[in-house]
Amino acid sequence: MSDVPALLINMVALKAGARIMEIYASDFAVEAKSDASPVTEADAAAERIILEELAKLSPSTPVVAEEAVSVGVIPQTDERFYLVDPLDGTREFVSRNGEFTVNIALIENGVPVMGVVFAPALGEIFWGDASHGAFKASVENGKIGPQVALKVRKAPTKIVAIGSRSHGSAETDAWLSRYEVANFVAAGSSLKFCRVAQGAADIYPRMGRTMEWDTAAGDAVLRAAGGLVTTLDGMPLQYGKRARQDAIDFANPYFVAYGDLGLKKD
């Protein structure tokens, strides 16, 4: 476990989030990256802040950050490294629905052992680690309010499923047909993991492309709240995936985020 506590990483996320909100309030431009995904000034500005702050707090720990990777800046990753998505849910940012997050996670031996997810437009921050559990708090005027412990709920007979607002798929609908689903909630960014962690939803299947920086922080929060994220064959989602013949570095396979682990089916 890192010697940098999650509460200090929260401060890094708040600083990045404040800059994001300044840009959110402006007439910002939207560009397209090589994979056709959108990117804005806010992505780059937030990442600069996070990289600078993490270098002060934990100078010996490598940082894999989305925008740096997109231009080929990829550090060596050993047993421990940070995974950063400075603005997860850029499509939500562009559409101005508020469902975007700052994601910072610490990976140790392929496992997300600490994560912070900050939704600056919603004034919500979530954090968790393997030793202390998961928590949520409101953020107002740059200050974090009282923390509330998070715990996944025991799933009812008819569950609440949550999924992507921008990346739904027929495969996801087909996979969910094995359950009695009372309600399906759409949400953006890594907030989906956090809603499962806080008991607002029971399951989040993702049958579509994601990258490790999209999922690691939310995964850490969910695991700390008693849930788990697995591949479709039931194995825990791993991080630091590189040099594979069948996939690009840091790409995730399809996965399912479970609150109540009793929902896992073969």
- 47-57 pLDDT, tens digit each: 999 999 999 99
Radius of gyration in angstroms for the set of CA atoms belonging to the chain, rounded to a whole number:
17
pLDDT for 140: 96
For the segment 88-100, the average pLDDT, to the nearest whole number, is 93
pLDDT for 129: 96
pLDDT for 266: 64
Which is more confidently placed, 213 or 245?
Answer: 213
pLDDT value at 155 more than 90? yes
Taking only the tens place, the pLDDT of each residue in 169-206 is 788 889 999 999 999 999 999 999 999 999 999 999 99
Q: How many CB atoms neighbour CB 202 within 10 A? A: 27
Report the chain's mean pLDDT, rounded to a whole number: 94
| Helix 6-24 and helix 41-57, axial crossing angle in degrees, nearest 10 | 160
Give the 3-state secondary structure of residue 82: strand
Using alpha carbons, select from 249, 221, 62 the residue that is nearest to residue 133.
221
Give the list of residues 6+ apart from residue 248 with CB closer than 8 angstroms, or none: none
